Amino acid sequence: MPLDPQAQALLDNMQASGIPPFHTLPVEDARQAMIDLFGKTKNPVPMHHIEDRDIPGTAGSIPIRIYTPPGNGPFPVLVYFHGGGWVLGSIETHDPICRELTRAVGCVVVSVDYRLAPEHPFPIPLEDCYAAVCWVARSASGINGDAQRIAVGGDSAGGNLAAAVALTARDRGVPSLAYQLLIYPVMDCAFDTDSYRENGDSYFLTKDMMVWFWQHYVRHEEHRLHPQAAPLRAHHFYGLPSTLLLTAEFDPLRDEGKAYAERLQAAGVRVEYRCYEGMIHGFLGLTSRLETAARAMAETAATLRSALDIRGRDAGVEDRDTPETQIANQQDEMTQRWGMTIPLHMHSRVYRWEPL
């Protein structure tokens, strides 16, 4: 499928903005450029309750932001790690997507402002993220959360951290995770896949940018092969939580994401893999600009609601809406908010893999 026209228009606007590619800038300038490019939306999704806190980490406090939906709870908790190549991004740049997930899924979302490279290279960001998940498991009742229904999730480098946290939790024995949401995640450091060859130059995220990110994140070359840095290189994939993994057709990370889904399935993990045709890296956070992103958000929310059993346990509803009904309801709400019609059908390749 060709590049989606709305995605092409977005790329054209980025180029017209005059912001240089991130990897050509000093780190601080690149961080500001990301804020300028993907700052808060002008019309943020209204939230029932938002709270900023500092929680204890292994080397000082870790800032988090807690988004709570309306209702009585206790709610499932999605611990979310922002993208940005481990170098850029913050809870502020990813505030819009966390608002969307809170509203659409109906769970508590805890967004983690982990320390960034190159000041804090691997494994410091990972240990911050793992510490945050352990805190949520211990303190779930204090944030109206259900300690039995904790999921991890993230986009891009945040997806890498979510997968690495799931591996770490499995290997260390705590905490127990119910689900993982991996959104166009970084899974490897080889740069040699077909998707890198096809999409490594022209679709926002480039090979040169990923090389720059890896150089800042992992100081020692041999550490790049560590499973907690490159989860695709894990020794085995047994015992990991059920997974939803999203990729984009015109993303250099597409093939490593699909490969990770295949490894999970081969290990007996329940996994659903979706590749959104015509889309570029970062699309899910652009629901106000891309119709496919709005559809993908609705589909993702429906899957998470079903996986975390939100309607059945929190609202006491015996006859829950089907995923199709939930998607249609989300589409109606987004159509009203953004003034666009979200099509009921779109181009995506969906694979639902049950354990072998």
Q: Which residues are catalytic?
A: 156, 251, 281
- Strand stretches in 263-334, DSSP E: 271-280
CA 138 to chain centre: 23
Please, which residues have CB within 8 angstroms of residue 115's CB and are 6 or more apart in sequence? 62, 124, 125, 128
CA–CA separation, 115 vs 127, rounded Å?
A: 10
Q: Let me know: does 197 contact 260? Beta carbons within 8 Å.
A: no
- DSSP class of 248: E
Pairing mode of beta strands 75-81, 108-112: parallel
Buried b (16+ CB within 10 A) or exposed e, 126-139: bbbbbbbbbbbbee
Nearest C-alpha neighbor of 205 from the set 24, 37, 22, 10: 22
Q: At what angle do helices 95-105 and 291-307 cross, to 10 degrees?
A: 50
Please, which residues have CB within 8 angstroms of residue 9's CB and are 6 or more apart in sequence? none
CA–CA separation, 266 vs 354, rounded Å?
A: 10
For residue 340, the tally of other CB atoms under 10 A from its CB is 16
Q: What are phi and psi of 154, to 5 degrees?
A: 180, 165
Give the residues across from 183 on adjacent strands.
155, 246
Buried b (16+ CB within 10 A) or exposed e, 162-198: bbbbbbbbbeeeebebbbbbbbbbbbbbeeebebbeb
